Amino acid sequence: MAARGHVQDPNDRRLRPIYDYLDNGNNKMAIQQADKLLKKHKDLHCAKVLKAIGLQRTGKQDEAFSLAQEVATLEPTDDNSLQALTILYREMHHPELVTKLYEAAVKKVPLSEEYHSHLFMAYARVGEYKKMQQAISAQDEKLAQTMFLPLAERMVEKMVKEEKIEAEAEVQLYFMILERLGKCVEALDVVRGPLGEKLTSELRSRENKCMMMYQRLQLWPECNALSYKLLLKNPDDWQFYLSYFDSLFHLMDKSWSQPEEGEHCVEGPVQTTVTEAVKFVVDRMEEQDKKESRPLRGPYLACLELIHRLRQRGCPDEKELGDPLELMVQFFGKFGDKPCCITDLKIYLHLLPPEQRSQFKKRLGELVPLGEAGEDGFGFPGDTKALQRHLCVCQLSRALGLQHALDTEGKLRLITELKAHYHHGLQFGKSCLKTELQFSDMYCLMAAHVYVDLWTETGDENMLWQCLGVLEEGLSFSPSNAQFKLLLLLLFCRLGAFQPVVDLYSSLDAKHVQHDTIGYLLTRYAGSLGQFAAASQSCNFSLRFFHSNQKDTSEYIIQAYKYGAFEKIPEFIAFRTRLNQSLHFAQVRTERMLLDLYTEADVTLSLEESVKAMGVCPEEDDIPWDNMRDNRDLTVLVSWDPKDRELTEEHRRLSLEEESVWLKVRSLTLRLLASLALLGHAPSPRNSDKTNENGISAKSSTLQTLLSQLDQTLETAAQITEKQTQYPFLGPPSSRLASALSSGSCITSGSFLFPHADLCPSLPSSLSPLRPEMLSRCKGEVLEMKDGRLTTRPSLLETLVFFVETVCVVLWVASYSASVLRPLKSSLQKKKKKKKDSSSAMPVVLCGFQEWTGSLQGVVTQALDHVKGQEASLTALKLAALTLEEGYSQTQVGSVQSSYLGSLQELGDLLRKRADSLKSLKI
Amino acid sequence: MTTLRAFTCDDLFKFNNINLDPLTETYGIPFYLQYLAHWPEYFIVAEAPGGELMGYIMGKAEGSVAREEWHGHVTALSVAPEFRRLGLAAKLMEMLEEISERKGGFFVDLFVRVSNQVAVNMYKQLGYSVYRTVIEYYSASNGEPDEDAYDMRKALSRDTERKSIIPIPHPVRPEDIE
């Protein structure tokens, strides 16, 4: 605060000592000095505010606030007061008051650029984006188009005429304004003109902006010529091959012809025929062939891209470029020893007809130098380059579907070969640091993939255990290989064993935004497998990230503005929105609350108190259903699967749809519980019956609405599960929707709660405690050992979780019923005392309820026995008898067993807690 | 075969194949936003034809011009395992150096774990030399000091006498570096 500009103002001189005191932390003196000053100059508002700052800092918040408001109501426009109030409000954590302050100031002094700028920043801090966007640009498109942008344009135009534009940022902004106004021609003129010369800090900034405008304006000749020019400079820049081909075909479609005289276009020569394009690409390849230094991949891939495009157009000229098979073999010859060779060629494998696939593999094999075959029939590479080539052939043959075409025998032999190569290749990486990958790691991963193929095809669980074993070995040699960890993690989840997953995930060191992109790997399974504590923790990791995002982003919108990075402002706002609308964010906040209710409500706090503490409002739906963003990274697990087994856009769409519907079920369950809790205010006997009914009917109508929404959602859910969508194994996990529906969980049946909505006195009789078949669906051994082999049935755990969740819900419904019935009973007893005769209907209700809680007690006891039994038989398993020859690793088997036990313990604990609260249900 | 372009916020959702590497730090959102807001030209990403992110460089310009310490700084440079051995890191470094040249920097510098021999050797090949050692520059996630860093530098054309890269013989502490 001490550094202040204009010294001429006498007020500044008067205020100076107060600033100094405040700066030095001498708040008392600051207050005294301000008082002194205010005696002489009553209207020196700023002194009041500075006094308020002193008061605020000495803990007298209320006094400070009322003093500040005295000044604020006067709507000051002097810089000193405004800045001091800004500081004060920020220290009071009331940034929203700053916006009011500057709104008023801007109204009074509409031409002050400085105040507009302060107002913008104040909006940004509070996060009032709508207003902020109105203040600067585009969201309120109409207002922006008709008012702000033209205004801004005129302002900048004036600056241009007066030659006042000096900074690059100003040119950027001018360009942005024109672009947003759709004045692309003008924007282009700016970039190409003298102002464009100022665009220097970003590499190729002018060219990129020109290209953007050419494409927008469909100036294909310019687009083509510029791409051509840029590719001559850098024949490896992929984006310009794409714009070169795009523009070429546009020009061909329009039969564009060169003007007879003069230049083709400002950017230079234009190419308009396939012949020219072919020659261009061939020339680029030859250029690389002649080069002494490392050749670039660009031209060779561009050649394949051109064939692909010509084929799409049914153009016969593709032959002039050569046979795709030969070209790909040639590419492999040049780049087969690079790990990215597979990624490059994978995109163009469809250019090979199916009958050429084996031949292609054979041709590639000829280019891989391998040593003499040993006893096992395998020849090995002599160095890492040869290894990489061999590996690439394996990857390509998988991508061509050749591995999938093998029968079980063939696949097992393939695994043996891959493992042999893996082990052989370890010798090249003996000196690798722990943080580096082994050269042969990908053989190991591929062996694991083939095991997964076998497991999913044959259902032979031994394949899964073998797969875990090979990955565990891989991790021991390459402890930081994220792909090993990710696949292990996924497999353990599929096995229903969540405990090992926790360590694996934490060793990935996933942080911040990664919680949004890969956090789903944890949160999908933790809760559904009964690891409630871990589930809660996983949700917390993510929630912490999302909540901090809300604060974090605003500050940087202001920074972007300050530093003139105007293009980043809409980008940051979009980013913030993307995080706020994240599917994962909505999931973790809903699941976290449900978890808290299931594990804690009615244990330490009542359901009602828990709901209130969480701030759940049954009427409010805070999930952006229509704009949900799926930020999950669904390709984080490496896959070399053929195209027809890869994750498609349709998979992505279906997975999001399925997750959204499941989320809706969960969120409605949560809101139903909340409305039940709030309904549960025991009717106070002092009030008349009539008001009671009215009070309840408002709330119960919310309940009704939610119930009918749940019914609708469940209908949609049933339709979705009917489709039985199968995702690629390495793609998104299925949601819990299907297993929830098949578990018979009452949570997934809206009508279960229905009879309570209108408080029908006959409720207990219409409420079957828990469908007996639900528990029977949980029966069976989750882990069995027979003839030295293990069988797991993780779905039993999931069903048990649904059962336990159902018990919780049923209990809350029951405790609500009890709260209604208790006063009924006491009033009946009073009546009984007065009159000897009473209506016979009421006691039936009461008896029914008691009967009902009795049978619920029975079911819960049975469930507890079941859990106990499971724990006992799990512990009794002699897993040490399992041998490594069968593919079992003792550590892994042990961790699966202990994870199952952990799940059972948590489920058992929760059931016991619920059994206790059941006792309090007596009426 | 690469598309080189400005890094945008949306890339944060796609960079797992790069950032799940044990030596690549995933920073909090503010850190990335600060760089994007302040030095957007210094944050460049390479994209493969299939859309995968290959690698990125993140840097800034800082230091006093008067004291001839105005320079480009490499904050992070990482290439996904499958896109290594293509010379991509060198290309990204070259771009950062060019931007720093345009801004009139005297040199480019960077910090690297002393144990990260692969990176140290690569930087040496690119013309960088160890200027000084910074003691316990890196800390583990629990806040405990973890490892020393080399502060490596390469002179730019403005530093005609290459004064900026004359090594300092004694190691320094993190708090002593500006």
What is the DSSP annotation of A663-675? HHHHHHHHHHHHH
Residue B3 is assigned to a structural domain of this protein: yes
Residue B174 is assigned to a structural domain of this protein: no
* Confidence check: pLDDT of A429 > 50: yes
B162 min Cα distance to partner chain A (Å): 24
pLDDT tens, position by position, A384-394: 999 999 999 99
DSSP 8-state class, residue A629: B
Model pLDDT, residue A515: 96
**Residue from A707, A776, A716, A793 nearest A747 by CA:** A707
Which tokens in the block code for residue A353?
């007809």
CB A705 within 8 A of CB A699: no
Task: Tell me how far CA of residue A638 lies from CA of A384, A395, A580, A726, in angstroms.
Answer: 21, 11, 28, 18
Q: Say whether A347 and B4 touch across the interface (CB within 8 A).
A: no
**Residue from A504, A515, A499 nearest A481 by CA:** A504
Using a CB-CB distance cutoff of 8 angstroms, which residues of chain A are in contact with residue B6? 202
Q: Say whether B1 and A571 touch across the interface (CB within 8 A).
A: no
Model pLDDT, residue B178: 66
Of A297, A480, A565, the CB nearest to B37: A565
CB A746 within 8 A of CB A776: no
* Confidence check: pLDDT of B164 > 80: yes
The domain spanning residue B102 has which CATH number? 3.40.630.30
Confidence label for A203 from pLDDT (cuts 50, 70 and 90): confident
**Residue from A710, A627, A707 nearest A666 by CA:** A710
Dihedral of CA atoms A70, A76, A79, A85 in degrees, nearest 10, equals 30
Q: Is A78 left (phi over 0), alpha (psi -120 to 50) or beta?
A: beta
pLDDT tens, position by position, A91-121: 887 878 888 888 888 888 877 767 777 777 7
Q: Which domain holds residue B50?
A: 1-163
Greater pLDDT, A537 or B143: A537
B165 min Cα distance to partner chain A (Å): 24
Residue B168 is assigned to a structural domain of this protein: no
Question: In the block, which residue shows the tokens 């720093």?
Answer: B100
Neighbour-count burial for A852-861, b at 16+ CB within 10 Å, e otherwise: bbeebeebbe
User: Environment class of residue A234 by beta-carbon count within 10 Å: exposed (0-12), middle (13-18) or buried (19+)?
Assistant: middle
B121 touches chain A (CB under 8 A): no
Q: Say whether A510 and B81 touch across the interface (CB within 8 A).
A: no
Average pLDDT of the residues in A818-843:
68
Of A510, A517, A556, the CB nearest to B33: A556
B49 touches chain A (CB under 8 A): yes
Q: How many Å separate Cα A148 from the centre of its chain?
A: 35
pLDDT tens, position by position, A150-199: 767 777 777 777 777 777 888 888 888 888 888 889 999 999 988 888 88
Residue B169 is assigned to a structural domain of this protein: no
Q: Which residue of B has its CA nearest to A575?
A: B9
Q: Say whether A636 and B141 touch across the interface (CB within 8 A).
A: no
Confidence label for A1 from pLDDT (cuts 50, 70 and 90): very low
Q: How many Å separate Cα A111 from the centre of its chain?
A: 43
CB A205 within 8 A of CB A191: no
Quote the CA–CA distance of A511 and B107 in Å, as a whole number.
Answer: 32
* Confidence check: pLDDT of A880 > 90: no
Residue B16 is assigned to a structural domain of this protein: yes
Residue B85 is assigned to a structural domain of this protein: yes
Task: Tell me how far CA of residue A789 lies from CA of A412, A461, A882, A895, in angstroms.
Answer: 19, 9, 7, 16
* Confidence check: pLDDT of A610 > 50: yes
Using a CB-CB distance cutoff of 8 angstroms, which residues of chain B are in contact with residue A510? 20, 26
A293 min Cα distance to partner chain B (Å): 12
Contacts of A445 (CB under 8 A, 6+ apart): A471, A474, A483, A484, A487, A638
Q: Say whether A239 and B95 touch across the interface (CB within 8 A).
A: no
B77 min Cα distance to partner chain A (Å): 16
| Long-range contacts from B123-131, C-beta under 8 angstroms, 24+ separation | B123/B152, B125/B90, B126/B90, B126/B93, B126/B154, B127/B154, B128/B152, B128/B153, B128/B154, B129/B153, B129/B154, B129/B165, B129/B167, B130/B167, B131/B165, B131/B167, B131/B168
Average pLDDT of the residues in A416-421:
98
Q: What percent of chain B has pLDDT over 70?
A: 98
Which tokens in the block code for residue A583?
């599917």
A103-117, A450-464, B151-165: least confidently modelled range: A103-117
Q: Which residue of A has its CA nearest to B43?
A: A202
B73 min Cα distance to partner chain A (Å): 15
Residue B175 is assigned to a structural domain of this protein: no
pLDDT tens, position by position, A728-786: 999 999 999 998 888 766 555 544 554 444 444 444 444 555 666 778 888 888 998 88
Q: Say whether B40 and A567 touch across the interface (CB within 8 A).
A: yes
Greatest mean pLDDT among A34-38, A504-508, A859-863: A504-508
CB A47 within 8 A of CB A38: yes
A376-390, A827-841, B94-108: least confidently modelled range: A827-841
B173 min Cα distance to partner chain A (Å): 25
Structural domain total, chain B: 1
Residue B11 is assigned to a structural domain of this protein: yes
β B71-79/B53-62 pair status:
antiparallel
DSSP string, A171-193: HHHHHHHHHHTT-HHHHHHHHHS
Of A202, A339, A347, the CB nearest to B84: A339
Residue to test with chain B: of A198, A240, A343, A632, most B Cβ within 10 A: A343
Using a CB-CB distance cutoff of 8 angstroms, which residues of chain B are in contact with residue A513? 12-13, 26, 29
- DSSP three-state, residue B147: strand
DSSP string, A760-827: -TTHHHH--SS-HHHHHHH-S-SEEEETTEEEE-HHHHHHHHHHHHHHHHHHHHHHHHHHHHHHHHHH
A9-18, A446-455, A493-502, A711-720: least confidently modelled range: A9-18
Greater pLDDT, A689 or A79: A79
Complex ipTM value: 0.95
A305 min Cα distance to partner chain B (Å): 10
Cβ atoms < 10 Å from Cβ of A604: 9
Greater pLDDT, A17 or A743: A17
Model pLDDT, residue A136: 43
Using a CB-CB distance cutoff of 8 angstroms, which residues of chain B are in contact with residue A636? 16-17, 20
Quote the CA–CA distance of A636 and A651 in Å, as a whole number.
Answer: 15
User: Environment class of residue A294 by beta-carbon count within 10 Å: exposed (0-12), middle (13-18) or buried (19+)?
Assistant: exposed
Mean pLDDT of chain A: 86
Average pLDDT of the residues in A618-634:
93
* Confidence check: pLDDT of A656 > 70: yes
